[in-house]
Amino acid sequence: MNQDQPTCHSASPEPSPSETFVAFTAGLWKQNPVFVMVLGMCPTLAITNSVRNAIAMGLATTFVMASANAFISMVRKLVPKQVRIATYISMIATSVTIVDYLVKAISIPVYKALGPFIPLIVSNCLTLERAESYAGKNPIGKSILDGLGMGLGFTFALTCLGTVREVLGAGTFLGFPLFGSNFEPWVLFLLPPGGFITLAMWLLTFTLWRERSDKRKRAREAALEKPVEIAS
């Protein structure tokens, strides 16, 4: 997963602004937490039976990641190795508690729909993984950007799943009926198996897409190398 980043680095002409940019966009696509790193599976599967819930969950996670990354990056130089994880977890738990109250204050129905999965952001491996591998090593600005990027990538993935599940399972998108009242919904997609199936389909799509782009890339490289060989 991580080898993508160096290639991005070397490919960019101006190092400093693009580096910050990379920190932000990596999570969106190249290192998408769900489709590439396969992290944070519980909410990905559980909270995607409607687009609205998916986005709400994604944003909640984004907030947690950005703020937790900020805290952690702030104290990263002070924390001794032995209590690293404990500190990180309490920081994350604090962010989660704040989100928990914020969501409740914003909308009770959304809070109810997300159920126990807001408190469970604490044990989302994604948050701790980013805390460990990024925020613990990088300055605060970049860490916040990383948190935001990863969180938005997560939101993007959740929305992808939510779209398929809601459109097929209920015939609606964000609650608006798409096909009229006579549409026969595929209820399965709202049920637990539907979550697994939808994610499997997205992963297959991603694998296919990456395989094809890899092939194209290799073909392009081969095409580039050939004339060089002839010249030498």
Partner 1 sequence: MNESLSHIFVDALLINNFVLCVFLGMCSFIGLSGKFSTAWRMGVSVMFVIIVSSILSYGTNLVLVRFHAEYLRIITYIVIIAATVQLTEMFIKKTSPALFRAMGVYLPLITTNCAVLAVPLFQTSRNYSFVQSVVFAIAASGGYTIAIVTLSLVRERVELSDVPSLAKGTALTLVLAAILSMAFMGFAGMGNGG
Partner 2 sequence: MTNSWQMIRLLGAVSLLCGLLIVGTQVNTAARIRSNQETIMRESVARLLPGIEKQIVYGIQPSGDLIILPGIEVSGPRFFAGYDAAGNFLGVVMEASERGYADVISAMYSYSPDTRTITGFQVIDMKETPGLGNKISSDLPFLENFKHLDATRPIATVKHGAKKNPWEIDAISGATISSRAVGRMLQKSVAEVAPVIERNLDRIKRGQ
Partner 3 sequence: MKPVIELRTSPHLHAPRSVETIMRNVVYALLPICAYAVWLFGASALALLVTTTAACVATEIFICKMSGRESSVGDFSVIITGLLLGLILPPGFPLWMAAVGGFIAVAPGKMLFGGLGFNVFNPALVARAFLQAAFPVAIMGYTPALAVHRLSEFIPTTFAIPLIKAAPLAGWIEKTRVDAFSGATPLMLEKFDHVHSELWPLLIGQRAGSSGETPALLIFLCGAYLILRRFMDWRIPAAMLTSALVSSAAFYFSDPSRYPNPFFMLLSGGMMLGAMFMATDPVASPVTPLGIWIYGSLIGLITVLIRLKGGLAEGVMYAILLANAMSPLIDNVTQPRSYGARGKEVA
- Which strand (E) or helix (H) includes residue 172? strand 172-173
Residues 125-184 that bind partner 1 (CB under 8 A): 125, 128
Site for partner 1 in 57-96 (CB under 8 A): 85-86, 89-90, 93-94, 96
CB 170 within 8 A of CB 190: yes
Question: Interior CA angle at 110 toward 167 and 126, to 5°?
Answer: 80
219 scored as a contact of partner 1 (CB under 8 A): no
Torsion of Cα atoms, 23 then 27 then 29 then 33, to 10°: 160
Please give the residues from 124 up to 183 whose contact with partner 3 meets the rule CB under 8 A: 179, 182-183
CA angle 79, 142, 140 (to 5 degrees): 40
* Contact string (CB under 8 A) for partner 2, positions 171-210, x = contact: --------------x-x--xx-------------------
Q: Does 105 bind partner 2 (CB under 8 A)?
A: yes
101 binds partner 1 (CB under 8 A): yes
The CA distance from 207 to 122, in Å, is 29
184 binds partner 3 (CB under 8 A): yes
State in angstroms the smallest separation of the CB of 16 from partner 2.
31
Among candidates 13, 20, 14, 9, which has minimal Cα distance to 138? 20
CB atoms within 10 A of CB 138: 18
Residue 46 binding target from partner 3, partner 1, partner 2, none, CB below 5 to 8 Å by type: partner 1
The entry of partner 3, partner 2, partner 1, none near residue 179 (CB within 5 to 8 angstroms by kind) is partner 3
Which residue among 63, 169, 198, 199 contacts partner 2 (CB under 8 A)? Answer: 169
Place of tokens 């999965």: 117
Phi (first) and psi of residue 177, to 5 degrees: -65, 135
45/55 with CB nearer partner 1: 45
| Residue (20 or 94) nearer to partner 2, CB | 94
The partner residues of 177 in beta bridges, in order of sequence, read: 172
* Contact set with partner 3 (CB under 8 A): 179, 182-184, 186-189, 191, 193-194
